[in-house]
Amino acid sequence: MAVKAIGRLHVITDTVLQARYSHEDLARLAIAGGAGAIQFRQKQGSTRELIETARAMQVVCRRLGAPLIINDRLDVALAVAADGVHLGQDDFPLALAREILGPDKIIGGSASTLEEARLCRTQAVDYVGLGPVYPTGSKADASPAGGLELVRRVSRELDLPVIAIGGIGATNASEVLAAGAHGVAVISAVCCQDDPSAAAADLLRALRG
């Protein structure tokens, strides 16, 4: 399976931690700041509402040239022809998602330990979302922070891009990459800032060193 271009900066849109910007707004602003991928994550709302939001985001992402990845909801990803999905350990099975979506779509799997990362690798994912690296308030049910050593261990062992998440911002993004991560995924470091576009640009500069 060919390696896909998944970008170094993934922005996970959020309208719970902040209400100033919509998911569509955040997608547009984050891409303007240099985000390489947008992930739509929303736990509340009907399936119809999620599809309507994701469809609007897909229009923005296609126009601006960034992939749209849907968190958790394979059905929503299929409904809007999204570029991929990101699935947790207890979500829709990764291997089955690959069977349904085919070889060309992006599939990411969440891991908080080396063992979970190894499991993701056996199920045809394109990248592993690893974390939390640092303590985070953006996810209520987050696992304990694994630190840079977890990033080093997983990046050293896996022949897959590692997208680190959890407590990452412009001040520490470079050290996460130095530990071996391919890139980072953020929520509050972009979505909760007064200027999400400028925040994304700051993060991208930090990632580029």
20 is annotated as an active-site residue = no
> What is the set of domains in the chain, with CATH numbers?
9-208 (3.20.20.70)
Tell me the pTM: 0.95
| Mean pLDDT calculated for residue range 155-183 | 97
- Cα separation, 162 vs 145, whole angstroms: 16
Is residue 28 part of the annotated active site? The answer reads no
Region 31-41: what's the mean pLDDT? 98
Q: Which of 2, 30, 8 is nearest to 193 (CA)?
A: 30
Confidence of residue 209 (pLDDT cuts 50, 70, 90): confident
Contact 103, 1 (CB under 8 A): yes
Is 22 tagged catalytic? no
Q: Active-site residue among 73, 98, 110, 197?
A: 110
Mean pLDDT over residues 58-76, rounded? 97
The 10 Å CB-count burial string (b at 16+, else e) for 83-101 is bbbbbbeebeebeebbeeb
Q: Among 139, 143, 152, 174, which one carries the catalytic annotation?
A: 139
Q: What is the pLDDT of residue 3?
A: 56
